[in-house]
Structure 1
Amino acid sequence: MSLQTATQTCFCGATKLEFPVDGIEDVFVCHCLDCRKLTASMFATNFCMKDVNIKYLKGGDKLKQVAQSASIASGNSMKDSRCGECGTLMNRQSSGFPGLSFLRVGEVDQLDVLLAGKFKPRVEQFMGSKAPWIGEIEAERRAEGQFDFTA
């Protein structure tokens, strides 16, 4: 039985990473200010993946690292890895969750994998920042602030 993998490519195509679909730790919708600013939307749909499961196929050596000393309501520092050419956010790492990366569902290349349900959000976090006009999202768990993905 072969391991199903998926890829995530930046906007310009210079950076591409691969990950095992079964390695997805969690999928979540986030309403925090960071995610709103990073996506130019009212929320982001993200997934968690252990760093050891992420393999850059190209552009990994040219990533631009951007660090924030304090971010979101949790106060954790964040490190963003962006394509060195177009600046697309490839993944984020939080000081609060060592060894774990946060990636954007919308950057996954395989539409069939996206539609198969593997990326259906199981968590909705920062509910206190959710716009009242956004409808209910079918999630198993909710958190007013940062969800503990290590629990």
Structure 2
Amino acid sequence: MPITGGCRCGTIRYDIALDALPSVYACHCLDCQTWSGSAFALHAMLPDDLLALDRDAHCFRIDEVEQMPSEHLGCARCMTRIANRNSAVPGMIILRAGTMDRSDEIIPVAHIWTRRAQPWVTLPEGVPAFGETPTPEQFQTVLSKSGAAAIKRGSTSLAAASVI
């Protein structure tokens, strides 16, 4: 069964070419808190070619105000941000995991930027947690152990850069 998802209003839809839900991580950085309006954001990092997003998805770039310029994709109608790309992880796309139709099945396999976590957030025991951004090798290991599908394509491997 393909993995599907979309924006809040249903205008923009997508498919992920995977048989199982991708591995998801929680980012507690201040940018993710602000972007999500919550205590953290849930992301899945995927090879770009696994995500088939409606052509009508709105695209905008943020260059001047971010350390890592990025391209964001989503719905212009309801303002749902579905995914983004940045040069820190070429060939990869960072999906907003809450936009998946089966988001109720998500269990984060790691937590990053926990030094910025809200004081009332309790992290689960046994789940890897990193105070800031883990090294690409650390992040690759965590996602690999969780059974992440297609986490390496050619010379592009997953890296936990500033990926919001």
* TM-score computed with the length of structure 1 as normaliser: 0.78
- State the 1:84 CA deviation: 2.8
CA RMSD of superposed structures (Å): 2.1
Q: From the two aligned structures, give the one with the greater strand fraction.
A: 1
Between the aligned partners of 1:40 and 1:139, the Cα distance in structure 2 is 27
Kindly indicate whether residue 95 of structure 2 is the aligned counterpart of residue 98 of structure 1. no
C-alpha separation in 2, matches of 1:54 and 1:48: 10
User: Is 2:117 the partner of 1:130?
Assistant: yes
Counterparts of residues 78-93 of structure 1 (less than 5 Å): 78-93=70-85
Report the CA distance between 1:21 and its aligned residue.
Answer: 4.1
8 Å CA contact 1:81, 1:91 repeated in 2: yes
Per the TM alignment, residue 98 of structure 1 is displaced from its structure 2 partner at its CA by: 0.9
- Report the residue type matching 2:100 in the other structure: V
**Any conservation in 2 of the 1:123–1:139 contact (CA below 8 Å)?**
no
Q: Aligned to 1:141, what secondary structure does the other structure show?
A: coil
| Within-5 A mapping of 1:44-59 | 44-56=41-53
Whether the aligned pair in 2 keeps the contact of 1:122 and 1:138 (CA below 8 Å) is no
- Percent of matched pairs sharing the same residue: 23
Alignment length (residue pairs)? 136
Change (3 A) 1:95 1:9: same
- The answer to whether the 8 Å contact 1:32/1:43 transfers is yes
Structure 1 unaligned residues grouped into runs of 5+: none
Q: Name the TM-score, length of structure 2 as normaliser.
A: 0.72
